[in-house]
Amino acid sequence: MSEHVIDIRQLSIKFGDHLALDKIKVQIESGDFVAIVGPNGAGKSTLFKVLLGLLQPTEGQVRIFDEPAYRAPAQWIGYVPQMKTLDRSFPAQAVELVLTGLNRRWPWRKEKSEYKKAIEALEQVSAEHLATRPVGRLSGGELQRVCLARSIVRQPKIVLLDEPATGIDAIGEADMYRLLEAYQKQSSATILMITHDWHAATHHADNVLLLNRKKISYGPPSVSLAEDNLRLAFGHIGHKHELKFLMK
Ligand code: ADP
Ligand code: MG
pLDDT tier for residue 106 given thresholds of 50, 70 and 90? low
For residue range 179-228, list pLDDT tens digits in order.
Answer: 999 999 999 999 999 998 888 999 999 999 999 999 999 999 999 999 99
For residue range 5-39, list pLDDT tens digits in order.
Answer: 999 999 999 999 999 999 999 999 999 999 999 99
For residue range 31-50, list pLDDT tens digits in order.
Answer: 999 999 999 999 999 999 99
83 residue type, one letter: M
Instruction: Indicate whether residue 81 lines ligand 1 (CB < 6 A).
Output: no
Instruction: Indicate whether residue 54 lines ligand 1 (CB < 6 A).
Output: no
For range 229-245, the mean pLDDT: 69
Task: Give the model's pLDDT for residue 248.
Answer: 43
CA distances from 230 to 23, 29, 221, 240 (A): 19, 23, 11, 8
* CA 44 – ligand 2 centroid, Å: 5
For range 134-155, the mean pLDDT: 93
Instruction: Indicate whether residue 15 lines ligand 1 (CB < 6 A).
Output: yes
| Residue 3 scores a pLDDT above 90 | no
Task: Give the model's pLDDT for residue 244.
Answer: 52
For residue range 64-97, list pLDDT tens digits in order.
Answer: 999 999 999 989 999 999 877 777 777 789 999 9
Residue identifier of the C-alpha nearest atom 25 of ligand 1 = 15
pTM score, whole prediction: 0.92
Handedness of CA 136, 96, 151, 70 (dihedral sign): negative
Using left for φ > 0, alpha for ψ between -120 and 50, and beta otherwise, residue 114 falls in alpha
- What gap in Å lies between CA 24 and CA 169, rounded to an integer? 33
